Structures are given as C-alpha cells and as structure tokens.
Amino acid sequence: MTVVIAVPGTEKHARDLATRLGATVVTPEIRQFPDGEVYVRIDADLANHEVVLVGSMHGGDKFLLIAFLAGTARDLGARRVGLVAPYLAYLRQDTRFKAGEGVTATYFARLMSSTVDWLVTVDPHLHRLDSLDHVYSIPTAIARAATSIATYITSEIEHPILVGPDAESVQWVAAVAAVCKAPYQILEKTRRGDRDVSISAPSGPWNGHTPVLIDDIVSTGKTMIEATRQLRAAGSAPPVCIAIHAVFADAVNDELVSAGAKGIVTCDTIPHVTNKICVADSIADAVRARLG
C-alpha cells in the first residue's frame, strides 16, 4: 500500500498524485510552538507502507519540516519514505567559482540523502552537473514537463516558434520542440549580476509566428523581460512566456506585459496564480518506476 503525505502548500499535488497511483492521501498535523519550533503528527497507520512525501523545496525553508515528517513516518513503521519535490532547491551553486565558497548543492543533497530513501523532481536546474547522481547518494528520478508544455502550446498557440532566452535553456526548448514539431531559436545572453542581464535577438524568423519563450526557472524575471524587449525590438508579435518553475513574485507578470509580452504561463511545480500546465502525469510515471 502507498500513502501520500502532503506538506502544507502542496495539497493539490498530493491529491493529483494519489489519484494516479491509487493511493491514500494523509494530511499531517503541523503547528508551531510559540518559540517557532515545529510540531508534526501523522495520524495514520503507516506500518510496512510505501510513504511518498510531496513538498516543493522553494527557497529550502521546508527542509526541516520534510526531515521531521520523514523521521515520523519511519518511526511509524513505513517501509520506505520517498520525496516528490516538484521543485528542488539548491542546484545553483554546484561548484566553487571563487576561493572559500560553499558548494551548497553538495551539502543540501547530502542532507536530503540522509533524510529520505528516494527523490523524484521535475526538470531540475542542472547545468554544470549532468546528473543528480553527482550530488545525491539516494536513487533519484526526473519527471519531464516537456510533453505537458507541448500539449499546452499545440492547443493554445497558433504558428508557434519556440524561443530560448539563453544557451542554458536549449535543453528545455529543444525537448518541447521535438514533441510539438515547432521550429525554435536560442538567443544570446550576457549576465552582469544576479539581477542584471543583456540579451540579443536576431531580426530573422518572427514573421507570421507567435514566439513562445521557454525557460526552466523564472525568478526575478529579468531574463524573460529582456528577451521579450529584444524580440519586440526585432519585430516579433507579443511572445507568450512559459516557465516550468514559478519562483517569482506576482508583479513579474505585469512587468512582462509592460515589456510587450502576452503574459506568462507556468507549470504547477510551485503553487502560483499563473499555473496552467499540470505535470502530474509525468510525476506519477516517475514515482511508479521508483516504487517498482
């Protein structure tokens, strides 16, 4: 038997996943003591069950809560405890760029690996690392959003041309293009700081197409905003922006529209008002493979 446990904020994911797995959903009791410490209780029979925790790791601030739920599930007799983190934090700093820097990708993965038995995530932000296995010592599996994004584009956008705002985005853009059989173009980006980027767009291929800007993470939105400006300056129609992980504040949609975009649409890996693309099928496939 499989039991899905929802970390607060990801109840919808937990229900979507449990439906697909034919599993039960359990909502844990979680409260804070007056001094900020967290109390957890799982009021369910977990003895010899496969337990699947569902919780996005946006910002990493849910780490202790997930570790406490995993520990509780184990104490209650769970056979294995896995984590579905639709968004996985701490993949950015995967090497030492400057003397003395902490390689937080390694430290975070080591802690997570000591906490759960396996991990499933959606399109993690891997660039220098070519696999989660370089930092995670537990079995991991990656669910891909490409098919869900391609389905959305095919049903909602006429004559799309997919656009990657920078070289790193080619992996997401090419995968979506392969499914929806649309042409694609990758722009060139120069980064001058956490919040400062410049992008150049060719004047070529926009005529008669709707550009669909695709990236894995939108955070400050600066890359998407600058790409939108350059596309419009190069004569394109208003682009539709698509992000897999909505790591951004609500204002970013307005800023994109001001820059000349139609707006932004996201996958539902982080709960956000712009979520339009459900990736539950892909997550359920990856979890089924894990549970064996």
107 binds its own copies (CB under 8 A): yes
Q: Amino acid identity, residue 29?
A: E
Q: State the burial class of residue 37 (Cβ atoms within 10 Å of its Cβ: 0-12, 13-18, 19+).
A: exposed
Distance between CA atoms of residues 68 and 47, nearest Å: 17
Which stretch in 2-10, 89-97, 175-183, 271-279 sits in contact with its own copies by CB under 8 A?
A: 89-97
Q: Please, which residue, 17 or 217, has the CB nearer to its own copies? A: 217
Instruction: State the DSSP string of 46-85.
Output: -TT-EEEEE---GGGTTHHHHHHHHHHHHHTT-SEEEEEE
| Cβ atoms within 10 Å of 113's Cβ, excluding its own | 17
Distance between CA atoms of residues 131 and 237, nearest Å: 37
The two beta strands, 196-200 and 210-218, are unpaired
Binding mask 141-180 for its own copies (x = CB under 8 A): ----------------------------------------
Which 229-258 positions form the footprint of its own copies (CB under 8 A)?
Answer: 247
191 binds its own copies (CB under 8 A): no
Contacts of 197 (CB under 8 A, 6+ apart): 189, 190, 191, 222, 223, 226
Q: How far is the CB of 257 from its own copies (least distance, A)?
A: 20
The one among 27, 106, 147, 171 contacting its own copies by CB under 8 A:
106
Size of the site for its own copies (CB under 8 A): 51
Q: Please, which residue, 13 or 58, has the CB nearer to its own copies? A: 58
Q: How far is the CB of 75 from its own copies (least distance, A)?
A: 7
Cα 250–251–253 angle (5° rounding)? 80
Q: Please, which residue, 114 or 154, has the CB nearer to its own copies? A: 114
136 binds its own copies (CB under 8 A): no
- List of residues contacting its own copies (CB under 8 A): 29, 33-44, 58-61, 63-64, 67-69, 71-72, 75-76, 89-90, 92-93, 96, 98-104, 106-108, 110-111, 114-115, 194-195, 217, 219-220, 247
